[in-house]
Amino acid sequence: MFAPDQHQLLDFGAGRKLERFGRYTVDRPSPAAEGASERDRNLWQQADARYERSEGERGTWSYRRRIDGPCAVRHGLLTLELKFTEFGHLGIFPEQAGNWDWLAGQIRAAGRPLKVLNLFAHTGASTLAVAAAGAEVVHVDAASNVVTWARRNAKASNLADAPTRWITEDALKFVRRELKRGNGYDAVILDPPGYGHGPHGETWKLAEHLGELLTMCLELTAARRQFMLLSCHSGELAFASELLHATLAVAPELRREGTIQAHELSLVSLAGDRLHCGAAMRWSALPEADHPNPAARGHTIERPREA
């Protein structure tokens, strides 16, 4: 989790969440907060920036005070730039911090150099977490401006010279090409959206394409698989969890050789209320007792069994 001076969930309710990023307080929509009630209206009135969705997925920000210069928050060795985008995103998903710690722990515990593929890699926090721990990384995202943003984060985190390839490409197309080239990886990280577009108009639909992508990722890592991480936001959680298990069912070696876990993605407010943000499904070659970062293990939903 983040240090309190870097990020805090202050309150949530009525379909919105109030967060502090560094010295700025941000009020924006959160579907997961529907049905909850705000605890402290005084906090909400002090928000420095408020986002309202106006058309489709886009919207506008209004500001109570001026946001001066570049904004960034830190998590361990990582420095992550914030931007107030027209989609209401800031370029960082704080609920993923536990995954970043888990990933770094997996790299350090492997005892050998690892090559990691990060798909739908966004602004690169997962990429930087594994790079800082010593991995070679291939970072893939469909949006060139987001890949540029991730590279700025690498520079700010003193990781500009880490062995990372930065690729703007459709995830499915890239993985198919890697299989044809005979390339392999030790680990894959995926954080797919429900719907999206590739750089050349390719369409991504989670319900249609995730099964194929996961199957190809299993092929990419078949020779030396160390870990896999799939995370999804609340809207896609149930489907993604079921589909991951269906995919693993056709790869029985995973059931024998490692540990599968479900880990909730959530944030806890100042009042102690939990905002559910999604979940991560983790597979690791490490026996459960050897897992690093015990606090980030999550709830084991399936234990490996001998055939």
What CA–CA distance (Å, rounded) separates 38 from 44?
A: 9
**What is the percent of the chain where pLDDT is above 70?**
85
For the cut 90, the answer to whether the pLDDT of residue 214 exceeds it is no
CA 200 to chain centre: 24
Query: Strand 195-197 relative to strand 203-205: parallel, antiparallel, unpaired?
Result: antiparallel
Beta bridge partners of 135: none
- Tell me what pLDDT residue 229 has: 92
Type of residue at 234: S
> Any idea how long the chain is?
307
CB count, 10 Å around CB of 20?
Answer: 22
Give me the half-sphere count of Cα atoms (radius 13 Å) on the Cβ side of residue 62.
Answer: 8
For the cut 60, the answer to whether the pLDDT of residue 209 exceeds it is yes
The pTM of this model reads 0.89
In this predicted structure, which of 180-184, 255-259, 291-295 has the lowest mean pLDDT? 291-295
Region 75-88: mean pLDDT is 95
Helix (H) or strand (E) holding 165: strand 164-168
- Tell me what pLDDT residue 90 has: 95
18-59: per-residue pLDDT in tens? 999 999 999 999 988 887 777 788 889 999 999 999 877 799
* Among 76, 186, 74, residue whose Cα is nearest residue 136: 186
For the cut 80, the answer to whether the pLDDT of residue 237 exceeds it is no
Type of residue at 24: Y
Region 79-104: mean pLDDT is 95
Report yes or no: 33 and 15 within 8 Å, Cβ to Cβ: yes
- All structural domains of the chain, each given as residue ranges with its CATH number in brackets, are 7-82 (2.60.40.1180), 94-302 (3.40.50.150)
The larger pLDDT score, comparing residue 277 to residue 70, is at 277
